[in-house]
């Protein structure tokens, strides 16, 4: 089993719809969770961090974390064509590997006008 | 005033050559990283330094040697380049070793002829 798994894409949604991106992780002691967006040919950029169970909202983006189910998701409301990108889930562990982010393979999102 | 800057952006060279990639961050961060992103877009950590001390050294051929002269700089030297080294190499930094997200440089696209 991979340490961090994301729902296989590509994911295509119409403009204005809600895009839902999912991520599961294998290590129960994981403490920090991040969503990065990567446009084609560009570097990853942080869009959301979440550290405790529940929802965290920032504009059109909502991150949801459920540590009991080892699950973190990203919802994008009112999706725009400019949201078309690959979204990477990253998970940080505790202890000696505390600073190491393990990345999922990414989910490519296309928002169609 | 780029936060994490890498040079060069593109590197095209022949098999067997030795090359270096340089990275500098002006964010005052303590921790820096090197990642490799292959053609399938999987982002894999290679090395991490915290305050000039090597703390992550993943399973990477010893042809790859990182060097951190100070906490704002992390360079990557690659000896005897092979075809399989073709990839995009990203430098990143985070505030400290722990739970903080990472800021990525623009990447260096390495192509081996």
Could you give the C-alpha distances from B21 to A35, A91, B81, in angstroms and in order?
Answer: 27, 27, 13
Report the distance separating Cα A44 and Cα B94, nearest Å.
14
pLDDT of residue B99: 78
pLDDT of residue A97: 62
Tell me if chain A has a CB within 8 Å of the CB of B39. no
A85 Cβ contact partners less than 8 Å away, ≥ 6 residues apart: A37, A38, A39, A40, A108, A109
Tell me if chain A has a CB within 8 Å of the CB of B57. no
pLDDT of residue B96: 84
> Which residues in chain A touch residue B31, judged by CB atoms under 8 angstroms apart?
99
Residue A54 tokens read as 């529940």
CA neighbor of B51 nearest in space, from B66, B34, B67, B71: B71
Q: Are B30 and B96 in contact (CB under 8 A)?
A: yes
Residue range B31-90, pLDDT digits in tens: 999 999 998 888 999 999 998 889 888 888 999 999 999 999 999 999 999 999 999 999
Comparing CB atoms, the residue among A32, A38, A45 nearest residue B99 is: A32
Q: How far is B86 from chain A (nearest CA, A)?
A: 15
pLDDT of residue A96: 56
CB atoms under 10 Å from CB of A103, counted, come to 23
Mean pLDDT, range A97-101, rounded to an integer: 70
> Which residues in chain A touch residue B107, judged by CB atoms under 8 angstroms apart?
42-43
> Which residues in chain A touch residue B98, judged by CB atoms under 8 angstroms apart?
32, 92, 98-99
Mean pLDDT, range A13-34, rounded to an integer: 91
Mean pLDDT, range A52-66, rounded to an integer: 96
Q: Are A36 and A23 in contact (CB under 8 A)?
A: no
* Residue A99 predicted with pLDDT over 70: no
Q: How many CA atoms lie within 13 A of A73 on its CB side?
A: 14
Interchain proximity A100–B45, CB inside 8 Å: yes
Q: Are A12 and A85 in contact (CB under 8 A)?
A: no
Mean pLDDT, range A18-39, rounded to an integer: 91
pLDDT of residue A65: 96
Comparing CB atoms, the residue among A42, A86, A98 nearest residue B97 is: A98
């Amino acid at each position: 089993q991979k340490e961090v798994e994301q729902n296989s894409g590509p994911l295509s949604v119409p403009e204005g719809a809600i895009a839902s991106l999912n991520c599961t992780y294998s290590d129960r002691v994981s403490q920090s969770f991040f969503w990065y967006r990567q446009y084609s040919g560009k570097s990853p950029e942080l869009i959301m961090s979440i550290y405790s169970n529940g929802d965290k909202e920032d504009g059109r983006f909502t991150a949801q974390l459920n540590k009991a189910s080892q699950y973190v998701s990203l919802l994008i409301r009112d999706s725009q064509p400019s949201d078309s990108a690959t979204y990477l889930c990253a998970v940080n562990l505790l202890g000696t590997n505390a600073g190491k982010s393990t990345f999922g393979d990414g989910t490519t999102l296309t928002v169609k006008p | 005033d780029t936060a994490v800057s890498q040079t060069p952006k593109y590197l095209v060279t022949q098999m067997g050559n030795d090359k270096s990639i340089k990275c500098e961050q002006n964010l005052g961060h303590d921790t820096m990283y090197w990642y490799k992103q292959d053609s399938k877009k999987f982002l894999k950590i290679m090395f991490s330094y915290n305050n000039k001390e090597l703390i992550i050294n993943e399973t990477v051929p010893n042809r790859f040697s990182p060097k951190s002269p100070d906490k704002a700089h992390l360079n990557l030297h690659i000896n005897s380049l092979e075809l399989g080294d073709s990839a995009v190499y990203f430098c990143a930094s985070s505030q400290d070793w722990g739970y903080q997200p990472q800021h990525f440089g623009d990447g260096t696209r390495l192509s081996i002829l």
